[in-house]
Structure 1
Amino acid sequence: MPVSASQVPFARISADGESTPIDRAIAEETPIAIECNGIGYAVLMATPADLPDLAYGFALAERLIDRADDVIDVNEHATDAGIVLRVTLAERVAMRIVDRVRHRVSESACGLCGIENLEQALRPLPRVEPADIDDAAIFAALAQLDQHQPLHRQTGAVHAAAACTADGEPWLVREDVGRHNAFDKLIGAMLRAGADWDGGFALLTSRCSYELVEKAVLAGCPLLATISAPTTLAIARAAQAGLALRVLARRDALLAPR
């Protein structure tokens, strides 16, 4: 089985020039190739843990699926170059793969080129159901999050995505070297468990990018809190979907876009 961290030898060099040999836990980062119904879809650089969760969350974020039972099976295949995630999707959503692969291929050469690609990049978002979440719950979640980040405590090099209750209790957390992957893993884990937000919110140890906003909206999350700043597009996309944002969240203050 893949591991999430490895012990790597280093020389610790102090300011006075003294060198001491040490071992340090370093986060694993592995190429993860995602195949959908036999079609190569994407390659992600990710922490090789909770990969079925990643597959489900990624498929939802890509709008390849709408619900958990759209995924028939996820199979992990280790290779010398990385890990292949072979995802089998239900027949009712199978044609979405071909459509999205065509757009992804056309985007690959020069980013987003042309009206069709721009429309694909900023597709309409559904509206999320608002939730009455007290900001005190976000501060409570921030105070507890460290306790739910074992890989980060080992390595200091991974992001966390946490599902939190309405009163600020983190009840499900996923970690990954990539902030997008961590959120996909969290969303996928919830999807597989048949869990919903139940008036709670998501807390991420990252900046608030528009991609993370879209993942939150597609997962039906009513409020997204991040410890770093947002982009203008993230704020705009959240407003379009009715997603509440709390950003630059620290234990003593946070920002709420008006």
Structure 2
Amino acid sequence: MTSDGDASRVDRVLATEVPVALEFNGIGYAVLMATPADLLDLTYGFALGERLIDAATDILDTAIETISAGWIVRVALAPRAAHRIYDRVRHRTSDSACGLCGVESLEQALRPLPRVPPWTGDPAAMFTAAAALAAQQPLGRATRAVHGAARCAPDGTILAVREDVGRHNAFDKLIGAMLRTGEEWNGGFALLSSRCSYELVEKAALSGCPMLATISAPTDLAVRRAREAGLTLHVVVRADALLSAQ
């Protein structure tokens, strides 16, 4: 509707959001609400973020099945990583057993992060990437309802983008794509079209990303976790603003 009261009908494409169940070695581990594209990338990135795997070779096989309720991704973990899924499931089962389990749960939620390499790039590269991100998001342009995660070269050139209705899923897809193809950050950085939560910081650190840039503001825990990992964190990356959250 315009300011003078005129109205016209506009048809919009809606973003798809469906349940995606992830099974590891026959054990149902998580159900994500996600955009059903790049599901193998999502699975690999999620597994790394959950610390179920350390590398792509820890996954021996995958199968994707479509059912009436959504999607199922079945994963076979290598023996060297299989114990992790059983340990995590046992931990989840004991969470409600007693009050002391709550202490253990908090410790599991904020496990130590690896240190990442220092980022020595030019902050101007973030403006280059931010200006180009929308053009690299076909689903975002069509729906205005999904997040984008971009892998950027040191000069800000966008090398790869993944999209999803969930900001965590989009970053998992990007990291998973890198795992599957053997790509590394090589002094580049990640740019996310979202606010910066601590989970995104942890995903960046676990993938070895030296710098994370986000369009919106961070939480205090995100800043603290970035400091623990030595992760360079820039937020509110816009044409007229840039904040360092170190």
TM-score normalized by the length of structure 2: 0.94
Q: Which residue in the other structure is 2:36 paired with?
A: 48
Secondary structure at the aligned position of 2:11 is classed as: strand
Q: Does 1:136 align with 2:124?
A: yes
Query: Given the superposition, is the C-alpha separation of residues 106 and 150 from structure 1 closer, same or farther in structure 2, using an over 3 Å criterion?
Result: farther
Q: For the Cα contact (< 8 Å) 1:139–1:251, is it kept in 2?
A: yes
RMSD: 1.8
Q: CA deviation at 1:108?
A: 8.1
* Matching residue within 199, 221, 246 for 2:187: 199
Partner of 2:68: 80
8 Å contact from structure 1 (residues 127, 217) kept in 2 = yes
Structure 1: which amino acid aligns with 2:81?
A: V
Q: Give the drift of 1:100.
A: 1.3
Match of 1:253 in 2: 241
Contact 1:35 1:85 in 2 (8 A): yes
> 2 CA distance for matches of 1:86 and 1:221?
27
SS at match of 2:63: strand
Give how far 1:103 is off.
2.8
**Alignment match of 1:147 (pick from 135, 143, 164):** 135
Alignment-derived partner of residue 209 in structure 2? 221
CA contact (8 A) 1:161 1:186 kept: yes
CA distance in 2, matches of 1:95, 1:218: 19
What SS does structure 1 have at the residue aligned with 2:36? Answer: coil
Q: Which amino acid aligns with 1:23?
A: D
Q: C-alpha distance in 2, partners of 1:66/1:138?
A: 29
Task: Return closer, same or farther for 1:138/1:103 CA change in 2, 3 Å cut-off.
Answer: same
Q: 1:33 aligns with which of 21, 28, 48?
A: 21
Distance 1:137 1:221 in 2: 15
TM-score by length of 1: 0.90
Sort the Cα spacing of 1:119 and 1:209 in 2 relative to 1 into closer, same or farther, 3 A: same
Give 1:101 shift.
1.9
Tell me the alpha carbon deviations over residues 14-37 of structure 1, each in whole angstroms, 9 at most, x when there is no partner.
677766554320000000000001
Q: Deviations over 1:162-221 (max 9, x none)?
A: 000000001000000000000000000000010000000000001110000000000000
1:40 match: secondary structure: strand
Residue matched to 2:79: 91
- The whole-number CA distance in structure 1 between the counterparts of 2:9 and 2:94 is 49
Query: Matches of 1:25 and 1:249 in 2, distance apart?
Result: 27
For these two proteins, the number of residue pairs brought into alignment is 244
Between the two proteins, what is the percent identity of the paired residues?
65
Q: Is the 8 A contact 1:163 1:202 kept in 2?
A: yes
Q: Is the 8 A contact 2:114 2:205 kept in 1?
A: yes
Is 1:116 aligned with 2:113? Answer: no
- Deviation of 1:133 after TM superposition, in Å, equals 1.2
SS at match of 2:178: helix
1:154-233 equivalent positions in 2, closer than 5 A? 154-233=142-221
User: Which runs of 5 or more residues in structure 2 are unaligned?
Assistant: none
Gaps of at least 5 residues in structure 1 are 1-12
Q: What letter is aligned with 1:38?
A: G
